[in-house]
Structure 1
Amino acid sequence: MQHVTVGDGMTVPDALEVSDVSHSYGRKQALSDVSFSIAPGRFTVLLGLNGAGKTTLFSLISRLYDTRHGSMRIFGHDIARASGEALRRLGIVFQARTLDLDLSVCQNLSYHAALHGLGRRAAMARIETLLAQVDMSDQIHDKARSLSGGQMRRVEIARALLHRPRLLLLDEATVGLDIRSRADILAIIRALVSTEGISVLWATHLIDEVEDGDHVVVLDKGKVLADGRVTEVCRSVGAGDIRQAFATLTRPPQASAEGRPA
């Protein structure tokens, strides 16, 4: 387990530590010996094409699936053996939309707050604060079905933050959104990291969502191909930018003139 030393000399365990995690669906291997960690208060990009294994990994972290091979910890708490403590520190936004379309924004959030044991008064205060943070205060009483895709995603982000998690996972959070909405969602999440110190694992296949200062984990066909700062990953493969580095890392082996693998 890795630890980070903070200003007062105390050490804090990694926000997320994934160690030798493998998972399969029958004979199909979805993840193979996946290992990486993310430091507290960092924005980390899990970069991979569709089918790379990103959603499977998120399902394991959130305990939708059991971890049979390998281990994972959230701020030092083993997800399998201390799931309550681990998941209490986790907020997650899945790729699929999950709001109840027949309920208002406030009702959707209030129901989720109750699941976390928040009293009505505390829940409403938290809901109002979060909706202001994601610029959705004016829509608090609107039915979810009347919202745009970008607005729904903002509400889902607010919902994931209700219980004040220290680690936030987002799986393809901008999929299907227009350019402006994508940029707005990404700006909201990056602001949470810089102003509140929340740790974020942002899964995406969109390379333009990666910035040079980010920590990036490149996942391809269930395997980690690179793990480090963007500049380090680019340097390791002699690439000028992350787009070129990703193309180099995920390029299939070239065939020789005789048709055999090179």
Structure 2
Amino acid sequence: MRPDHHSTSAIEAVSHAAPALEVARLSFAYGARQVLHDAAFRVMPGEFAVLLGPNGAGKSTLFALITRLFDAPPPGSVRIFGTEMREEPGAALARLGLVFQQPTLDPDISVIENLLYHGALHGLPRAESRRRAMHELERVELADRAGSTVRALSGGQRRRAEVARALLTQPALLLLDEATTGLDMPSRAAVRRHVRNLCTTEGLAVLWATHLIEEVPEEARVIMLAEGRVRAEGTVPEVLAQAAQAPDLPDAFARLTASAKG
């Protein structure tokens, strides 16, 4: 369980832990159409990792396998903090938070009711759920809108509310699937800034899926996915080197996605 505040020593400790997420040899097909081919990568505690790929690259399918919406066929493996998803799904999923690509808040009830319902599904006592909900809403600057219906919020506010809901169970790993789709630039920046800050201050591990190159910060770990294959992985300079010494990330993206189609 992730406490509300981490000391520096606690953040240093998680840096020596097992990978927050370890994906190995993940393949998947829809009938005869192969959409993932032996995908493999790691995300470490406290790391902001970006799963970068064009639309149709297989990002959402990969997320569905990680979260067990689909079962990973053997020999593929998903481990969350060392726990094999296939063997102990409950224990693995308990450490995971998720923000879906499509909005999933009920628009006709209040923000706080959405979060309390989520807490109830996870077995949290109502008083504790309310305490955590208000804490998370405060951190995304939505405490004053707790009683508002979701329908009354702007797109950016709805996304921030979804992040708050995902953090209600105090996960150690947070997955966000195209979380800023449809938002204006200031709203996208606000969501991204809040999530990156949680990596730095609380040791939260994040896998951020996007097709937008501008959403990749310099310090991020990048997993480049194209045509269902991991084409490059590492820091931004490492990815540039893997893309035949590309001068910048947009050029690396163009080269690696083009090679996937060739």
Q: 1:233 aligns with which of 229, 239, 245?
A: 239
Aligned letter for 2:172?
R
- State the distance in 1 between where 2:15 and 2:195 align: 26
8 A Cα contact 1:213 1:231, kept in partner: no
% identity of equivalent residues: 50
Q: What residue is the counterpart of 1:43 in the other structure? A: 48
Give the AA of the match of 1:239: A
Aligned to 1:72: 78
- Where does the alignment leave 5 or more consecutive residues of structure 2 unmatched? 1-10
Whole-angstrom CA distance in 1 between matches of 2:53 and 2:14: 36
TM-score (structure 1 length as normaliser): 0.92
Pick from 240, 245, 250: which aligns with 2:252? 245
The 5 A counterparts of 1:43-122 are: 43-69=48-74, 70-122=76-128
Q: Distance in 1 between matches of 2:160 and 2:249?
A: 27
Once superposed, which parts of structure 1, at least 4 consecutive aligned residues long, lie more than 3 Å away?
6-11
Choose which of 155, 177, 194 in structure 1 pairs with 2:161.
155
Shift of 1:10: 9.4
2:37 corresponds to 1:32: yes
State the shift of 1:117 in Å.
1.2
> Kindly tell me: are residues 140 and 18 of structure 1, through their superposed partners in 2, closer, same or farther at Cα, counting changes over 3 Å?
same
**Mapped contact 2:22–2:78 kept (Cα < 8 A):** yes
User: How many residues get paired?
Assistant: 250
Shift of 1:28: 1.0
Q: 1:9 to 1:88 in 2, by over 3 A?
A: closer
Cα distance between partner residues in 2 of 1:128 and 1:10: 29
Question: How far apart in 2 are the matches of 1:244 and 1:40?
Answer: 29
Partner SS, residue 17 of structure 2: strand
Cα drift, residue 179 of structure 1: 0.6
The reply to whether residue 192 of structure 1 matches residue 198 of structure 2 is yes
SS of alignment partner, residue 85 of structure 1: helix
- 1:145 is displaced (CA, Å) by 1.0
SS in 1 for 2:112: helix
Q: Which residue of 2 aligns with 1:3?
A: none
CA shift at 1:238, angstroms? Answer: 0.9
1:12 matched to which residue of 2? 17
**Aligned partner of 1:169 among 159, 170, 175:** 175
TM-score using structure 2 length: 0.92
